[in-house]
Amino acid sequence: MPLNRRSFLGLSTILLSSPLPVFSSENKQAKRILVYGDSNSFGWAWSPEKDIYRLPIDQIWPQVMAQKLGPNYEVEVNALGGRTVKRDQKDGNGTGKSLSGKLFNGMVSLPAVLSENLPLDIVIVMLGTNDANSRYKNNAKAIADDLEEMIRMIQAGEWQSNTKFKTPKVLVIAPPLQPNETAYGDAFSGAEKITKELPPLLQEKCRILGAEYINAQDFVKGIPGQIDRVHLSPEQHKVLGEAAAAKVKEIFAH
């Protein structure tokens, strides 16, 4: 599937990432998808030998999804390492000292990202891992409430009120299980409990709001498979991408 989109600026923090190029077709009737996520939608990778690097594009779950969906779908990806649902990072994180911590707040950047990618048929959101970082002293209910606000923002459509485009559907993917012990010290202390408790809360939010839902933990078994214990292995990207593709096909089959 050809790539036809400019790349975005990539930023890094504990979860390094950058938006991916679009995976698209020439089909004018294609369903347009936006993936909005963090470094586990970017394909962040780390090892003692290579330090920080990126998995090959065709191994990352949004591209796996795109390939499974085929030419009747276009997939745009905006994936930023360290992105939260509704929390600022510290200033100076990422790729430079001048970067504002507000750039990592998903609610702040979302309206512009949505507008940039019009028209859209569905927005796929996979966030919440960084919100479980110990610095925020967060809990599953608070993260679910923040994701509810994000879903409502997308559904309200005020970000495209000056256009005649229809409001997209929303598919929420509950994030993978995040263990407490990682290569980043105590950054994710307490995250395992939070990410275990989040999926049922989020599923209920989606039911009430009429959003679609899958749980990454149903497909990504155990903890993230890379050596840092935060980021998905190529094998985990593959099963998640296949699951997401199956869900998208199910949504548009009705």
* HEC sequence for 86-106: CCCCCCCCCCCCCCCHHHHEH
In a domain, 4, yes or no: no
Closest Cα to residue 15, out of 139, 194, 148, 191? 191
In a domain, 140, yes or no: yes
Between helix 140-156 and helix 191-209 the angle, nearest 10°, is: 30
241 backbone dihedrals φ, ψ, rounded to 5°: -60, -40
Is pLDDT larger for residue 207 or for residue 4?
Answer: 207
The verdict on whether omega for the bond into residue 175 sits within 30 degrees of 0, i.e. cis, is no
DSSP for 34-60, written as a single string: EEEESHHHHTEEEETTTEEEE--GGGS
Question: For the chain, how many structural domains are there in total?
Answer: 1
Stretch 204-228: mean pLDDT, rounded?
Answer: 94
Flag whether pLDDT at 198 surpasses 60: yes
% helix / strand / coil in the chain, to the nearest 5? Answer: 40, 20, 45
In a domain, 9, yes or no: no
In a domain, 248, yes or no: yes
In a domain, 186, yes or no: yes
For residues 46 and 227, what is the distance between their CA atoms, to the nearest angstrom? 7
For residues 107 and 112, what is the distance between their CA atoms, to the nearest angstrom? 10
Are 41 and 57 in contact by the 8 Å Cβ rule? The answer is no
Closest Cα to residue 228, out of 183, 189, 191, 190? 183
Determine the pLDDT at residue 91.
61
Q: What percent of the chain has pLDDT over 90?
A: 71
CATH code of 64's domain: 3.40.50.1110
Closest Cα to residue 230, out of 96, 146, 133? 133
First-to-final CA distance of the chain: 25
For residues 36 and 5, what is the distance between their CA atoms, to the nearest angstrom? 16
User: What single letter denotes the amino acid at residue 79?
Assistant: A
Residue 164: alpha-carbon gap to chain centroid: 27
**Domain assignment of residue 84, given as a range:** 31-253
In a domain, 196, yes or no: yes
Using one digit for the tens of pLDDT, what is the confidence trace for 72-122? 999 999 999 889 999 997 665 654 566 778 889 999 999 999 999 999 999
In a domain, 2, yes or no: no
In a domain, 207, yes or no: yes
Flag whether pLDDT at 50 surpasses 80: no
